[in-house]
Amino acid sequence: MMIEFDHVIKKYNDFTLDLNMQIPKDRIIGLIGANGAGKSTTFKLILGLIHPDQGSVKVLDRTAQDLKPEQKQEIGTVFSDSGFSEYLKVNQLIPVMKRFYPDFREEEFAERCEKFQIPRNKQIRDFSTGMKAKLNVLLALSHGSRLLLLDVK
């Protein structure tokens, strides 16, 4: 299995996520629900950013908490509420990505930027919302991700 939630419970003040789910390899799965339904919580559990109160989360055949940095590099993520400094230019992101992801494919990234009309010498703050979203997806795809998590609005 690519991802497995085994009787996972995560509680917050007035919210409880109760999840039992398996996602096999080579599948595309979408989580659709109202605000506050637990979609972002599910992604954070997958990434080991938060821990379940009960049950276990397995990702890439390991518990989420036991993922080593090199295994986390196999996960491409896009969160709607995160991003890079708006004062950076796309070209300035390349050394950052290469530092964090040894498998960052600079040439492939550059080709995709051109294809999707992402200007590499323009500050991100001057991008439209759609351009920022495209940039984040292109970055997530450009380092050999085996698993892609997109948490966008």
- Domain end, chosen from 19, 37, 67, is at 67
Q: Which helix (H) or strand (E) holds 23?
A: strand 15-23
Residues 134-143: tens digit of each pLDDT: 999 999 999 9
Residues 46 and 102 grouped into a single domain: no
Give this prediction's pTM. 0.82
Measure CA 44 to chain center.
9
Residues 85 and 141 grouped into a single domain: yes
Dist CA 112 CA 141 (whole Å)? 10
Provide the terminal-to-terminal Cα distance of the chain, rounded to the nearest Å.
27
The token pair that represents 53 in the structure block: 């109160």
- Domain end, chosen from 67, 96, 115, is at 67
Residues 52-87: tens digit of each pLDDT: 999 999 999 999 988 888 888 899 988 876 677 888
Residue 114 belongs to domain spanning? 79-151
Tally of structural domains, the chain? 2
Residue 63's DSSP bridge partners are 58
Residues 58 and 83 grouped into a single domain: no
